[in-house]
Chain A
């Protein structure tokens, strides 16, 4: 009985720790959706690219990937700021269906990224090696690897910084305004194009940094991008597209759900159950758990 309780607590804590990383992946993604009005299908590829950047830092430069995190942010923010204007251009073009085209465009970017990684690195599994964080913290029989704690801490700090940026700076105010109504924001003198570039750049950098940490915790290959995209989608759909607060709840919930399913049902069924939950959420409350997202 005690053992069963302990297993449950351990599982829930494992799930919460992982859920923190899902929050880190999804928060920028959600905001990028809010301002660009495009679901970025490349989100999982940013994670994997970040992971490879971590591997490269260790093997080529001999720098510990954790130290390298700020550089990863800068590199991917730069890449993101090159991609964002293209998405913006497609999204605001006068094609027949710009929303659809922009969706397909990010899908193409994701394929380009995945194909390039597969061609250059191949199918071999990798892990990000770090020597800075190791060992396990044990409290009352519940084990928490320091690495996962660090990941969780990273998620909390970045989320807090991001929230600070959104709610306490003028640019953040502009971002929130543009996410609500681009036309009106434009009339108020907000440069929506510049703003969406900034947001997308931050999002790409943030996601890639989360990718380094995920790569340190889990083994990854060049192929796993779509899986992380799926998780990010789950989080933002459950949160309600565009809702920032919902991301916190949904990300932690997803981590817990996944851990519980893996322990009590079997790892083979995680996607099926995640999909089932997603389905019910879409059916019952398409605006997300906090009912703040945009649905129709």
Chain B
């Protein structure tokens, strides 16, 4: 979180080298694993993206959304409906439609509630998700409780790359917007001290609303890809509260408000759940397990797993040893002011 200004030489290599290795591993994954593992990694990518988009409102803006599955479901249904025979839209064109609709829903829900304390927002988003599931259950063009199937089915690697690229874009967007731009500082300022942020001339409600709309539009894209991938959706699958539960838990386990927290949480939890599912079958004990895990993490490890990672303290030492621990560059012209959280 320190050293915001660009520095020449070694630290860049410290970041870029692992990224190249990761890109090589994940970029060529379909060439050296079987279909099962490609599907598992598609799942990891999807959940990493979902948790990251939840992290925008939950971690960066400091409002907990307990209804994020609604946006995932909106994206899934937008894609499925537009791809039905009769409409026959191109798959890629359906994704932005879902994102826009999800963003509009976020605007409608966020507008009255983001002015109030967090509990109202949590309740309202939760109510939205429950109500949406019930409405979609009754409507005709959504297939009611029976659901919809999506036509055609490209190969597994198509979905792997689609999910991976979407998730990488989400992380890139999050990084640029929340770690490297004025907007990110505004959002964090509002989160950490709303009154102070307001006194600096920040329109706090607007900033929170923008963050929430972004946080809602992204899962809709992943929901659209997911609908095409699993070829059949219904309210029980894409509007189930468990989707929200997982987003919340993954983010908190990884590290709330950290860029890489959600990815770490998704990686750990998705692989664990896949392993548990293959080993024991039952899925209801999984709900109990992640619930207990969530409670334990909050009680004993509020910073998530990433709080254990060397970055927090160790990396500072590494930088010091490399002679790079100088104060962040004094806020040059045009750059954002230095310093993260107190």
Contact = CB atoms under 8 A, between A and B. Distances in A.
Please say whether chains A and B are actual partners in one complex.
yes
A89 B109 CA distance: 31
A272 B135 contact: yes
Interface string A88-99: 011001011101
B282 interface: yes
Contacts of A39: 119, 122-123
A272 B302 CA distance: 35
Given A115-B287, A234-B127, A101 B116 contact: no
A115 B276 CA distance: 15
B203 to A, nearest CB: 16
Contacts of A295: 116-117, 120
A9 interface: no
Contacts of A99: 117-119
B287 A107 contact: no
A158 B287 CA distance: 33
Nearest to A102: B298
Interface string B219-259: 00000000000000000000001000100110010001100
B252 A268 contact: no
A215 interface: no
A295 to B, nearest CB: 5
Contact of B282 (A38, A86, A119): A119
B126 A233 contact: yes
A274 B286 CA distance: 31
Nearest to A37: B119
Given A112-B291, A271-B134, A278-B127, A103 B286 contact: no
A100 B64 contact: yes
Interface string B88-117: 000000000000000000000100110111
A41 to B, nearest CB: 7
Interface residues of A, number: 53
B298 A101 contact: yes
A265 to B, nearest CB: 11
A39 B113 CA distance: 15
B288 A112 contact: yes
Most chain B CB atoms below 10 A, which of A107, A122, A266: A107
B292 A112 contact: yes
B116 A104 contact: no
A107 B299 contact: no
A105 B291 CA distance: 9
A253 to B, nearest CB: 16
A113 interface: yes
A4 interface: no
Contact of B298 (A104, A110, A278): A104
A282 interface: yes
A104 B247 CA distance: 12
Contacts of B172: none
B111 to A, nearest CB: 8
Contact of B294 (A33, A111, A230): A111
Contacts of B248: 104, 107
A269 to B, nearest CB: 7
Contacts of A296: 115-117
Given A272-B134, A275-B130, 20 more contacts: A33-B119, A95-B302, A104-B252, A108-B293, A108-B295, A110-B291, A111-B245, A111-B290, A111-B294, A115-B286, A237-B120, A237-B123, A269-B138, A271-B130, A271-B135, A279-B109, A282-B120, A295-B116, A295-B117, A296-B116
12 contacts: A100-B63, A105-B298, A107-B245, A108-B292, A109-B291, A111-B287, A111-B290, A118-B288, A269-B134, A282-B113, A282-B124, A286-B116
